[in-house]
Amino acid sequence: MAKREGLEVSVAVADAAMLSDVDVVSAYPITPQTHIVEHLAELVANGELNAAYIPVESEHSAMSACVGASAVGARTFTATAAQGLELMHEVLYVASAMRYPMVMTVANRALSAPISIWGDHSDAMAVRDTGWIQIFVENGQEAVDNVICGFRIGEDKRVLLPVMVHLDGFALTHVIEPIELPEKKDVERFLPPFKYPLPLDPEKPVTMGALGSPFIYTEVKWAQEINLEKAKDVVLESWQEFGKVFGRTYSPIEQYRTDGAKVLLLTMGSYSETAMVAVDKMRGDGKEIGLLKLRLWRPFPYEELRKAVKDIDVLIVLDRAVSFGGPGGPVCSEIKAALYAEEKRPQVIGFVGGLGGRDISMAGFEEMINRGIEIARTGSEREFEIYGVRE
């Protein structure tokens, strides 16, 4: 039985990569991801982790090195945040379109300007369409577990895709939590060795990244889309299997105290923990409020979402990013689109909040939920409202 101990989440994430027996790590340090890659560098330097650590001059190079490593069939890990993720941007599309499994933890942080090292989801939402499998975690244990799951999901022959594990910068990366690091032998049982079907190999040459003329590009993109959609089955299967080995099971949308609730709040990442406390308090006051925690962001869990909201009247969605000049937060827009064709659907009320590290307290969530209920009844002058802004 694995021991439960107090660990900084970043350190535990690095340990999870080590337990997954990664072959190559290439990363460029950026706050608040730094402790993850520093600890990995230490583990490699100390001889505890038998892996190649490739130091690079930028995140663009880090992702490029990871693409190369994955192309030869190496189990590859990296981590970044905010501006670093943006600098990787063009290579992210290459990694997914060329079907290179790797796991990247993103220590979610606000994008400049103004410079902010603190957390929100603007970095994650900017890479929404890059073709990666994307999972949001709400605490350190989930981060550890989903790094390990990420390798199993991405490396599955039916998938062969890179996986992003989003964990909130500082709110998760820099806190010490009680975490159960799995036993190495159990991880080995859960995670088979990586065997890439078409690696770069002088004995069997292949051309990767050739020109795709108009006659083939559409077919390639459709194959990529279907592949990512179908990856959901493997995500579900891997989470189930993880549960059998380690006793913790995950689902695309986790429901918290939703029984009998007519109003639900939907959150992502670490703010779900505070939101749960707010829901507890409101339930204690006799209000039928529940919480949905969206964990699987790509591929989007349409079926699970529609099922989760089929009996409710109001769904309040909190986005931690702004789609400037658009219809509201990206998550809320997608949820509205996903429910549009449903015969019976709840009113969807969008809030943007928690930007650039702005905290939302338990009382704050309560206030937001109450305002959401009020908007559902009386309407709002805006497509979405922002929570906690000073006039």
Rounded to whole angstroms, how far apart are CA atoms 17 and 361?
32
Residue 59's Cβ-side half-sphere holds a number of Cα atoms within 13 Å equal to 23
The mark string for 179-208 relative to another protein (x by CB under 8 A, - otherwise) is: ------------------xx------xxxx
Q: Compare residues 176 and 216 and give the one whose CB is closer to another protein.
A: 216
Cα separation of 140 and 174, whole Å?
A: 10
**Contacting another protein within 26-55 (CB under 8 A):** none
Within residues 92-111, the interface with another protein by CB under 8 A covers: 97-100
Shortest Å distance, C-beta 228 to another protein? 13
User: Taking the complex as a whole, how short is the minimal distance between the CB of residue 212 and another protein, in angstroms?
Assistant: 6
User: Judged by CB under 8 A, which stretch of 113-121, 216-224, 228-236, 359-367 contacts another protein?
Assistant: 216-224
Does residue 215 belong to the site contacting another protein (CB under 8 A)? yes
226 is an interface residue for another protein by CB under 8 A: yes
- Measured at the alpha carbon of residue 177, what is the angle toward residues 171 and 181, in degrees to the nearest 5? 120
Nearest residue (CB) to another protein, 90 versus 383: 90
Q: Phi and psi (nearest 5°) for 104?
A: -125, 125
For residue 152, the SS3 value is helix
Whole-angstrom Cα distance, residue 360 to residue 156?
38
Q: Hey, what amino acid is at 273?
A: E
Say how many residues touch another protein, by CB under 8 A: 23
Q: How far is the CB of 71 from another protein (least distance, A)?
A: 9
Q: Does the footprint of another protein cover residue 72 (CB under 8 A)?
A: no
Contact with another protein (CB under 8 A) among 47, 214, 284, 379? 214
Q: Which residue has the tokens 């599955």?
A: 156
Pairing of strands 176-180, 253-256: unpaired
Q: Out of 72, 176, 223, 337, which residue is the one contacting another protein (CB under 8 A)? A: 223
- Is omega for the bond preceding 113 within 30 degrees of 0, making it cis? yes
Q: State the nearest-atom distance from the C-beta of 358 to another protein, in Å.
A: 41
| Residues in CB range of 246: below 8 A, 6 or more apart | 2, 145, 182, 186, 190
3-class SS of residue 319: strand
Q: Return residues touching another protein (CB under 8 A).
A: 97-100, 160, 197-198, 205-208, 210, 212-216, 218-220, 222-223, 226
